[in-house]
Structure 1
Amino acid sequence: MKKSLFLLALTIAAVVHAQQRQSSVGTVTTTAQTPVHDPVMIKEGNTFYLFCTGFGISVFSSTDLQNWKREKPVFATAPEWAVAAVPGYRGHTWAPDISYHNGMYYLYYSVSAFGKNTSCIGVAVNKTLDPASPDFKWEDKGKLLHSVPGRDNWNAIDPNLVLDEKKEAWLSFGSFWGGLKLVKLNNDLISIAEPQQWRTIAARPRAASSDTAAGNGAIEAPFIFQKNGYYYLFASWDYCCQGEKSNYKVVVGRSKTVSGPYTDKTGKPMELNGGSLIIEGDGKKWFGAGHNAAYTFEGKDYIIYHGYDAEDKGRSKLRIDELLWDAEGWPYVKKN
């Protein structure tokens, strides 16, 4: 298992590095051909901005959700604190999360050692996302969370910020190990609130014979979306980053409170392997698909994620679908 996790991480790095070399700043691609991993999105003015895994954090922009232009990465050089905290980290940054609060854009991001939970979540802020604005400047606020092998049974990657009904801030995060976690933040959104409040919000069983602390309970990428009095927790199951062999998929549960418990359609808690399937590959157009985010733009709900293109050797591409809701208030996506 340890070897497979290492190979997975190498695959991610190789794919993203290849995509960076093939696409220069200013290059425009259509949605189905835009090379991304772990996309998140936000709108400023008439422009949508997409952030995803890549060297320095990859950035794209669009005015129509169809044609995406590559922008300069967030970081021209790797943050010094992250290089010191995570051996081997040189700027390839994972799974960002973007949101707007208090007149600022908050960008959470992940740095990690391959196959280990030597990982950190950092935060950067900006007044605007428009690179042509005189106010455009990313300011790194440094480390928010740090997981340590042998000390922590969780992994500090895949952050997602959510504000509850009291406007109090919580950060969900996690990958493998003991599952997905939730921690309360201070109002500054860049520090953990005291006394510290932690929750396990989703987990999967792990084989006792696993030779690594990560285990094989493949769950990651939490994203919490508020709708009709519920908090919906999306999570990704199984394995990404294996091209044609990827079996990534998205499941969902919901709760009346941000701290859970989150349960699926059958009432099974997500912390006990619960989760109702919402997205998976079909093996024809797309192999595995996952690591999603969800947003509302101009009255419509959207789910964005990456899928492994079955018509292009399993390469990872951007996918955007309208998020629909059934009579019981559960989300679904129309099958193409």
Structure 2
Amino acid sequence: MAALAATALLVLVPTSAQAADVSYPDPRPITGQEIIHDPTVMRLRTGGYVAYSTGGVIGARLSKDGRHWDDAGNAFAEPPAWWYEYNDTGDPWAPDLSYRDGRYWLYYAVSSWGTNHSAIGVATSRTGLPGTWTDHGTVLTSETTDHWNAIDPAVIRADGRLWMAFGSYWTGIRMVELDARTGKAVKGTTVHHLATRPDEPYAVEGPYVVRHGRYYYLFASYDACCAGTSSTYRIKVGRSTSVTGPYVDSTGTPLLEGGGDLLLAGHGDFVGTGGQSVFQDKGGDWLAYHYYDAQDDGTPKLGLNRLSWTTDGWPLVL
């Protein structure tokens, strides 16, 4: 997305999330390899950008400037053997990239469509580049007897502890504490409930949690993905003073009761916006997501928009 003039920013930033315009800005124009699904994006400490995504053995894209993206193969040369317990094709989903303690950490999910026999795994790398990852096995698993689904991980540090939001259908979004040394779920950890919907199949997934000011913000994808131009994905958000909740929207409605402010929805040729993550670049926040291109047979592509914050602390897509 091209940078906006200061006068435009004054017009676009309302005093509350509910006052935001119902129209949405288009994503930043990019070139090169645009195809992506469930992106996690980061500016590397050595310069340049990397994006990992669903597809392949965790598909990889590289960029020098955040505008032109090149296909960089996959995070792994081949699937770790344990993946096949959860997916016959060894196909991972929805990675999450972070950096701490001198290493990059890549979390991801392995599952099959329509079941919560699922697992979240983790790998580490000194450079964050494709082909350099060492896998460390499962972080958290779920079975058909559980009331949650161990997919769509997103990791955040809060108050000196490490946490992972995750979840999908099967009652929505959950959170557990991780061991900062191993990166895996603390034994016996409480499974906190962050967001759901009152109606089955509880279509909320893909959580991402960020800290801004004194609040934690939970971004999540609602409704249906993965159906090309028939997709209805949209991104909603709530906030809490505690990383484990309760999260509420700008009207005070809890996300556990179906609340959530609509942050970004499909518009024009940009259909089914979701699978989001947030990253920092040069002191600013950016929203990364996929959309289905109505001008290209519903092909999923990378969306990048700068995030601003309203005067009362709610995110706004620019």
Q: TM-score, normalised by structure 1?
A: 0.83
Alignment partner, residue 78 of structure 2: 77
- The 8 Å contact of residues 202 and 270 in structure 1, kept in 2 or not, is answered as yes
Return the offset for 1:33.
5.9
- The 8 Å contact of residues 201 and 261 in structure 1, kept in 2 or not, is answered as yes
The letter for the 1-side match of 2:222 is: W
The letter for the 1-side match of 2:155 is: L
Alignment partner, residue 37 of structure 1: 37
Alignment partner, residue 141 of structure 2: 146
Return the offset for 1:87.
4.7
Alignment partner, residue 213 of structure 1: none
Q: Describe the shift of the 1:173–1:333 C-alpha distance in structure 2 as closer, same or farther (beyond 3 A).
A: same
Instruction: State the distance in 2 between where 1:182 and 1:129 align.
Output: 25
Alignment partner, residue 114 of structure 2: 115
Alignment partner, residue 11 of structure 1: none
Return the offset for 1:310.
1.6
Alignment partner, residue 323 of structure 1: 307
Return the offset for 1:32.
8.4
User: Does residue 285 in structure 1 map to residue 269 in structure 2?
Assistant: yes
Percent identity among equivalent residues?
39
Instruction: State the distance in 2 between where 1:180 and 1:193 align.
Output: 18
Return the offset for 1:191.
2.1
1:278-314 per-position Cα deviation (integer Å, ceiling 9, x unaligned): 00011x2211101111122111111010011121122
User: Does residue 227 in structure 1 map to residue 212 in structure 2?
Assistant: yes
Instruction: State the distance in 2 between where 1:87 and 1:63 align.
Output: 34
Return the offset for 1:146.
1.0
Specify which of 162, 166, 170 is matched with residue 169 of structure 1: 162
Alignment partner, residue 3 of structure 2: none
Q: Describe the shift of the 1:321–1:189 C-alpha distance in structure 2 as closer, same or farther (beyond 3 A).
A: farther
SS in 2 for 1:296: strand
Q: Which runs of 5+ in 2 are unaligned?
A: 1-28
- The 8 Å contact of residues 148 and 170 in structure 2, kept in 1 or not, is answered as yes
RMSD, aligned α-carbons: 1.6
Alignment partner, residue 124 of structure 1: 123
- The 8 Å contact of residues 33 and 70 in structure 2, kept in 1 or not, is answered as no
- Relative to its length, the structure with more helix (as a share) is 1
- The 8 Å contact of residues 105 and 127 in structure 1, kept in 2 or not, is answered as yes
Instruction: State the distance in 2 between where 1:79 and 1:46 align.
Output: 29
User: Does residue 155 in structure 1 map to residue 156 in structure 2?
Assistant: no
Superposed, 1:53-72 pairs within 5 Å as 53-72=54-73
Return the offset for 1:129.
2.3
- The 8 Å contact of residues 303 and 321 in structure 1, kept in 2 or not, is answered as yes
Alignment partner, residue 259 of structure 2: 274
Q: Describe the shift of the 1:87–1:318 C-alpha distance in structure 2 as closer, same or farther (beyond 3 A).
A: closer
SS in 2 for 1:46: coil
1:6-40 per-position Cα deviation (integer Å, ceiling 9, x unaligned): xxxxxxxxxxxxxxxxxxxxxxx945861000000
Instruction: State the distance in 1 between where 2:54 and 2:165 align.
Output: 18
Return the offset for 1:130.
4.2
Superposed, 1:293-304 pairs within 5 Å as 293-304=277-288
Alignment partner, residue 197 of structure 1: 190
Instruction: State the distance in 1 between where 2:250 and 2:263 align.
Output: 11
SS in 1 for 2:82: helix
Q: Describe the shift of the 1:189–1:250 C-alpha distance in structure 2 as closer, same or farther (beyond 3 A).
A: farther
Instruction: State the distance in 2 between where 1:177 and 1:194 align.
Output: 22
The letter for the 1-side match of 2:316 is: Y
Instruction: State the distance in 2 between where 1:198 and 1:130 align.
Output: 32
Instruction: State the distance in 2 between where 1:130 and 1:155 align.
Output: 28
Instruction: Kindly indicate whether structure 1 or structure 2 has the higher relative contact order, using CA contacts under 8 Å at least 6 residues apart.
Output: 2
Specify which of 292, 295, 315 is matched with residue 308 of structure 1: 292
